[in-house]
Amino acid sequence: MTYLAEVEYPDAKRFSDLFSALSNVLDEVLLRFTESGITAGGLDPARMAYIELEIPKSATRHFSLEQEAAAGVNLNVLREILKGKAGRPILIRVSHEEVELEWEEETRRKYVMPNLEVQQETVAPKASYSAKVGIMGDVLVKALKDVEVISDLVELEAGEGGLTIRAPESKGRATITIGRGSAALILLEVEKTAKGVYDIGYIKKILGLARLTQSLTLSLSSGGPLEIVMSSLDGTKLRYVLAPAV
């Protein structure tokens, strides 16, 4: 069989974590293989969130293209195949008809899935932001857990003094302040104070990846969407844009 793309990724566990995050937002996805690397993304069925994953060619052990290729996969199936995999290399092969995954544990394992026709909106929502905050991922995870005790919504406010994370006033009181000068606050760029209310459940869909990166970036403007960007040392990047709660 002639393969359009053949890629060896160095860590099956990390590969599994990346696509598990996608599966929390999307049912199916189109993986695009180009000379730059692998990209995947789209709008969730409720059209509340957009997610985009970029894995650069430099993050792989082997990257061979016969031509630019696309692989349509069911993310729930992919997640089950990859569940519990150890951190060993995984080989991905793409043909017009099939997508193959192969790796070695105690035995050599190979899965073959159909290359699905996936119709998906992959154009990111356009938005402008008046504040950008870099924060340690575990700090955000803990803050959301504190707020979630009271509310399923969270209000984020970024200003010159830092980032405030709180439950909306109508839901009760829980406030976490990460002030300028805090070790947890890595970046603070504010053109204008920004405040927005967002669904905690939607934010948590991708925060399982926070442990794969030292920090993440939040961008927001008053009444507008929230953008969360996670970047790892190997250049892999996850971008997540969430509409404000009504």
Predicted confidence (pLDDT) per residue in 21-36, tens digit: 999 999 999 999 999 9
Kindly give, in sequence order, each residue whose CB lies less than 8 Å from that of residue 229, ignoring residues fewer than 6 positions away. 216, 217, 219, 237, 238, 239, 240
With pLDDT > 70 as the criterion, what percentage of the chain qualifies?
Answer: 96
Quick one: average pLDDT of 47-55? 94
Q: Is the dihedral of CA 114, 206, 132, 242 positive or negative?
A: positive
Residue with tokens 């696509």: 19
Residue with tokens 């509409």: 243
Kindly give, in sequence order, each residue whose CB lies less than 8 Å from that of residue 171, ignoring residues fewer than 6 positions away. 150, 151, 153
Query: What value, to the nearest 5°, has the Cα angle with vertex 51 and ends 50 and 55?
Result: 155
**Domain spanning 5-114: which CATH class is it, in words?**
alpha beta
Provide the whole-model pTM.
0.92
Quick one: average pLDDT of 113-137? 87
Q: What is the per-residue pLDDT for 122?
A: 64
**Domain spanning 131-242: which CATH class is it, in words?**
alpha beta
CA 101 to chain centre: 21
> Domain limits of the chain?
5-114, 131-242
Tens-place pLDDT, residues 163-175? 999 998 766 788 9
Evaluate if residue 125 carries a pLDDT over 90: no
The 8-class DSSP code of residue 130 comes to: S
Q: What is the per-residue pLDDT for 2?
A: 81
Evaluate if residue 229 carries a pLDDT over 90: yes
The 8-class DSSP code of residue 84 comes to: T
Label residues 3-28 b or e (16+ Cβ within 10 Å = b).
Answer: bbbbbbbebbebbbbbbbbbbbbbeb
Q: Are 129 and 227 in contact (CB under 8 A)?
A: yes
Q: What is the per-residue pLDDT for 213?
A: 80
Beta-bridge partner residues of 67: none
Helix (H) / strand (E) containing 133 = strand 131-136
Q: What is the per-residue pLDDT for 10?
A: 95
Q: What is the per-residue pLDDT for 211?
A: 77
Closest-CA residue to 208 (of 11, 15, 17): 17
Backbone angles phi, psi at 200, to 5 degrees: -60, -40
